[in-house]
């Protein structure tokens, strides 16, 4: 009994979540499944196949995916655990109709099955049939209470409804009341046809949309009202670290809103960011200064970023000389275990 208590105390004092976790243990918070039935739903709703078999959605080619390749890519890249999600466009292309509701449920049960088959390797973020708010509230509770998911996946906008728009307040309210961790993936803005000029949207529109959602959460006051949950944004926060000061400064001008500049900065720095496609020395240095090491997480963006390039991200942030070995360890697993208690429980940390 005494020993047991001592062990508990000791593990609670360890910053990395317990002696069982080796230093290299790596958790990927950003990787995607693309099951066949989901791909078929996209094709059925009118997304085109180019060159006979390559599916394109909103200006972006959708790669082939199998769980076998997913797991072998994890092995090849030294990733011990992945939290799965659906990438853009989610199910927003179905506008919250009954097919969207059924498709989200099927995707969530499919991910649940994978987490049961590979309990020490895979977790999941819940897919919601937004912009259908009522059905999404049901899905949040189902994923959290019945499927034991790590958290909920959202997009920067859902069929044009941005995080921070009043339409989505009931969703944020539920996440706030239940303290549910959220992973926010970017998607295209409605205007992408007119602005992208043939440049694939993930290159510019995704990081811009991430920034737009974060700024909208501030201007709408939504994040201030619903702050009782962790939010992870992708790709180093888009262009936020670079623009945060400009936004905060301008927002304080009375005719631009008259907001509290310090409050804007504090809120922008409260988010977590993954490092998928954000591991250049300048990005890492900006992120380290802007949010600090404790808010940074590993993300590969598999299979949109194929295995070898994902590996380069993971090597990149370790070898760029921006972080110490201790800091690399926090980024690899310490930080994420601090915000995803269910992952921590499942891997026995």
What is the distance, to the nearest Å, from the Cα of residue 102 to the centroid of all Cα atoms in its chain?
23
Measured from the CB atom, is 228 or 326 closer to ligand NAG?
A: 228
d(CA 123, CA 117): 11
Smallest separation (angstroms) from ligand NAG to the CB of 327: 29
Beta strands in the chain (DSSP E): 27-32, 49-50, 54-57, 60-62, 81-85, 122-126, 151-155, 157-158, 161-162, 182-185, 231-233, 272-274, 296-297
Measured from the CB atom, is 109 or 320 closer to ligand NAG?
A: 109
Measured from the CB atom, is 125 or 317 closer to ligand NAG?
A: 125
For residues 143 and 115, the answer to whether their CB atoms sit within 8 Å is: no
- List contacts with ligand NAG (CB under 6 A): 51, 106, 109-110, 113, 176-179, 228
Smallest separation (angstroms) from ligand NAG to the CB of 145: 12
For residues 297 and 272, the answer to whether their CB atoms sit within 8 Å is: yes
Smallest separation (angstroms) from ligand NAG to the CB of 128: 16
Smallest separation (angstroms) from ligand NAG to the CB of 107: 8
d(CA 165, CA 214): 11
Measured from the CB atom, is 167 or 176 closer to ligand NAG?
A: 176
Closest residue to ligand NAG, judged by C-beta, is 179
Smallest separation (angstroms) from ligand NAG to the CB of 179: 3
Smallest separation (angstroms) from ligand NAG to the CB of 180: 8
Q: For residue 274, which of 243, 251, 305 has the smallest C-alpha distance?
A: 305
Distances (CA, A) of 172 to 82, 139, 178, 222, 294: 25, 14, 10, 8, 24
How far is the first Cα of the chain from the last one, in angstroms, to the nearest whole number?
20
For residues 210 and 240, the answer to whether their CB atoms sit within 8 Å is: yes
């Amino acid at each position: 009994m005494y020993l047991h208590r001592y062990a508990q105390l000791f593990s609670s004092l360890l910053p990395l979540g317990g002696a069982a976790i080796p230093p290299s243990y790596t958790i990927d918070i950003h990787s995607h499944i693309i099951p066949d039935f989901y791909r078929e739903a996209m094709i059925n709703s009118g997304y085109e196949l180019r060159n006979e078999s390559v599916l394109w959605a909103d200006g972006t080619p959708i790669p082939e995916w199998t769980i076998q390749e997913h797991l072998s890519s994890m092995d090849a890249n030294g990733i011990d655990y992945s939290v799965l999600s659906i990438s853009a466009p989610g199910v927003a292309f179905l506008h919250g109709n009954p097919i969207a509701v059924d498709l989200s449920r099927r995707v969530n049960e499919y991910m649940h099955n994978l987490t049961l088959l590979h309990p020490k390797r895979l977790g999941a973020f819940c897919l919601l049939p937004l912009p259908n708010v009522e059905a999404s509230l049901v899905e949040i509770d189902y994923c959290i209470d019945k499927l034991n998911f790590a958290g909920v996946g959202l997009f920067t906008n859902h069929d044009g409804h941005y995080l921070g728009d009043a339409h989505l307040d009931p969703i944020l309210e539920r996440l706030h009341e239940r303290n549910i961790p959220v992973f926010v993936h970017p998607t295209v803005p409605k205007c992408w046809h007119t602005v992208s000029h043939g440049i694939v949207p993930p290159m510019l529109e995704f990081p811009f949309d991430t920034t737009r959602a974060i700024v909208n959460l501030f201007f709408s006051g939504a994040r201030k009202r619903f702050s009782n949950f962790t939010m992870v944004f992708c790709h180093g926060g888009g262009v936020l670290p670079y623009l945060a000061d400009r936004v905060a400064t301008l927002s304080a001008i009375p005719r631009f809103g008259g907001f509290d500049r310090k409050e804007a900065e504090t809120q922008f720095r409260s988010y977590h960011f993954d490092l998928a496609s954000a591991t250049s020395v300048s990005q890492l240095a900006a992120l380290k200064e802007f949010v600090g090491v404790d808010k940074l997480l590993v993300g590969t963006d598999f299979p949109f970023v194929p295995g070898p390039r994902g590996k380069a991200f993971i090597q990149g942030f370790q070898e760029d000389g921006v972080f110490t070995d201790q800091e690399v360890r926090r980024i690899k697993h310490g930080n994420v275990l601090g915000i995803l208690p269910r992952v921590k429980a499942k891997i026995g940390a």
